[in-house]
Structure 1
């Protein structure tokens, strides 16, 4: 499966940013083996451009996207989760890609306990324990670009605008010019391959 394309190179990359919660003595749920600690306001993006294939993998605490991490029980919470899921289902509006590159979405996978996916924490019915659960949202997109030579950058400004609680995104890029890691913010939202 193409997911290996993302998993292997990123396992070899050094971390670009030191993580503030390394001394945290809580036992957190880190969805699908993500790098670093669960930190509100901070998301991670892996971007791989290989030939005409562009893969984007976003991993974010749910707090950044929906404003909470508990299971949606009220109608308002359920509506918020549904609205965020609908936004995440449209990667071409969340990530600014050059129109000349002709990128079209092939596949996507969205994962989160908030979307009804099984939580990775154990469910023993202890309400206190669940009130402290950290939920992440993962989004994996595979796109095909008819003219990948025109894809020189990815603009994350639409992502920051859609989810204003996201203060920075740590990006790992692999493209025709090699690999690099960098930090983006709403004021510095463009990354180049």
Structure 2
């Protein structure tokens, strides 16, 4: 089971790599960056749920360049505000009593306060990603029966698919969620 799961992301690579190649000839990509597709790693350990979301900036903001116009800056600020409210994006059962213990957002899109900024300067035309890492503490983790991403799909409609790797009490599982299939059971 575990070996099959580890092979899962690679099974999706050939198509993504072809699309990435057509999209950007001079960018040597393994297909990890595909518009419309985000990745979510989720791990429940005791009463702590760790969530790590990686998405092309295009899925969230609609563009990938550093924001310079007022409209772009406003859009980036709005995206950041949405990402700073993870409990609205990842619906968790109320009875689980979950609260956000810590969160980290990282992206060249967010500008100068980002420690990847130096790297981004030399690669203006590269795809920019948004990384969000959340640590959520739940007082009744046994009530965490599912993870519902409907809120995320609703707020970021350009996100068509989310490839989820989940490690929970029943071991590891992988799934590809979409707007019409936005829930994964633990």
- TM exceeding 0.5: yes
Contact kept, 8 Å, 2:108 with 2:120, in 1: the verdict is no
How far does residue 120 in structure 1 lie from its aligned partner after superposition?
6.9
Match of 1:135 among 128, 133, 151: 128
For each residue in 1:12-61, what CA deviation from the matched residue of structure 2 results, as whole angstroms up to 9, or x when unmatched? 833345122335354368xxxxx951000000000000110000000000
1:18-57 paired onto structure 2 within 5 Å: 18-19=12-13, 20-23=15-18, 24=21, 26-27=26-27, 37-57=32-52
Kindly indicate which of the two structures has a greater share of residues assigned to helix: 2
Give unmatched runs, 5+ long, in structure 2. Answer: none
Distance 2:170 2:118 in 1: 37
Count, aligned residues: 173
Distance 1:43 1:92 in 2: 18
1:145 aligns with 2:143: no
1:164 aligns with 2:157: yes
Partner of 1:6 in structure 2?
none
Distance 1:141 1:120 in 2: 25
1:84-95 paired onto structure 2 within 5 Å: 84-95=79-90
RMSD: 2.1
Give unmatched runs, 5+ long, in structure 1. Answer: 1-8, 30-34
For each residue in 1:67-103, what CA deviation from the matched residue of structure 2 results, as whole angstroms up to 9, or x when unmatched? 0000101000000000100000000111010000011
Distance 1:97 1:61 in 2: 24
For residue 38 of structure 1, give the secondary structure of its aligned residue in structure 2. coil
**TM-score normalised by structure 2 residue count:** 0.86
